[in-house]
Structure 1
Amino acid sequence: MTAVLPAPSSLALRPPAILDVEASGFGRGSYPIEVGFVEPAGAVFCSLIQPEPDWQHWDPSAELVHGISRDILQRHGKPPGWVAAQINERLAGQTVYCDAWAHDYPWLARLFDSVDMVPAFHLQDLRCLLSEAEAACWHVVREQVRDELQLVRHRASSDARVLQTAWLRLKTRAGS
């Protein structure tokens, strides 16, 4: 007996895992302070990260964007080893996408290096999943989604949800 597969148009669109990182600032010396992601099935993970003793860089303008102070990190952040282990456990074997690979990759590398761990997932730029036409609409659609979701906080898991929802909207439009 031969299995009959549904037509491609009737298959549910499965979104990719999307990750976002908030950091102490940009450039040399900056480090991750929060990691959040949304899995393909919609489960969300987010954690603040306690800074390592040698993580001293702090950019007040970055704090104005994400609203996370060093005091909040010290009081509510989780140890870097715990955060890295959680990320690996939940994303093992997956390709995970982000919209700021040039920043997110070094910040994740700093997190994992600080605890002598290696990521169990592959981080890729979200742009590689977009056609040229979709990429041209990306910023507009992303901001529409952000407005519709009425997110008041610029935080890692919220940003990941916005990115995943915008990707789904673009792909749904492309399929219709």
Structure 2
Amino acid sequence: MQEVMEEEATDGLPQFLDLEASSLRFGVSYPTEVAWSDEAGHIYSYLIKPDPRWTDWSRSAEAITGLSREQLFREGHPVHLVATTMNHQLAGRVLYCDGGAHDAFWLRRLFEAAGTPCRFLLEDISRMVPSTVMGWPDWPAHLQGLIRDSRLAAGQAHRAAPDVAYLRELYRRVRESLEQMTDPTLTSYSPRRAQLR
């Protein structure tokens, strides 16, 4: 396990999650790495040892993440350990991701292989932005700038821990931006407890 401790942790942050995978093929791909943040902003990351039933592999995914299947067998943690740890830390929580149906699918595969139910919910990060903001004419271009700056601040893409850091940074920048642009009460988020499908 790798834990990334942040110097300026802040209590009460939303929690974020990211998964990397063997490929983008629905039905056969599986998670290779998972990371999540806690409410203080700390990030926890696990490489996942492939379940014996998981045989899919993409060399292009390996090139993007830098993770080989051999490395996962050597350094990865068993699916049951990863799922149990996540349930212990995250039960009853809502975690935000930007991988939509892919992240939901890989999370299901992890918990199905572990033989245990997932005890937390996954929601798309876009749900954190008030719907009234989405219609603003300048918002799409402004958001693209925030996405670019957040990625630069977070570092390497396509590894789970830096991608969680990116989501946390994007949340911070969007929230600050909305507070400057509009009534701060609009920026409070209330998670919709609907699991991604």
Partner of 2:146: 141
Letter in 2 for 1:156: A
1:5-50 Cα offsets, whole Å, 9 max, x none, are xxxxxxx894310000000001230000000011221121100000
Partner of 1:31: 30
- TM-score by length of structure 1 reads 0.86
Partner of 1:41: 40
Measure the CA separation in 2 of the matches of 1:95 and 1:157.
18
Partner of 1:61: 60
Greater relative CO (CA pairs within 8 A, separation 6+): 1
Segments of structure 1 that go 5 or more residues without pairing to the other structure are 1-11
Say whether the 8 Å CA contact 1:142–1:163 is kept in structure 2.
Answer: no
Say whether the 8 Å CA contact 2:11–2:41 is kept in structure 1.
Answer: no
1:20 and 2:18 aligned: yes
Measure the CA separation in 2 of the matches of 1:135 and 1:109.
33
Measure the CA separation in 2 of the matches of 1:170 and 1:111.
31
CA drift at 1:92: 1.2
Distance 1:85 1:158, change over 3 A: same
1:159 and 2:167 aligned: no
Partner of 1:4: none
Distance 1:64 1:139, change over 3 A: farther
Task: Tell me the number of residue pairs that the alignment of Structure 1 and Structure 2 aligns.
Answer: 164
Q: Secondary structure at the match of 2:109?
A: helix
CA RMSD of aligned residues (A): 1.9
Letter in 1 for 2:18: D
Measure the CA separation in 1 of the matches of 2:113 and 2:72.
17
CA drift at 1:124: 0.7
Measure the CA separation in 2 of the matches of 1:86 and 1:76.
17
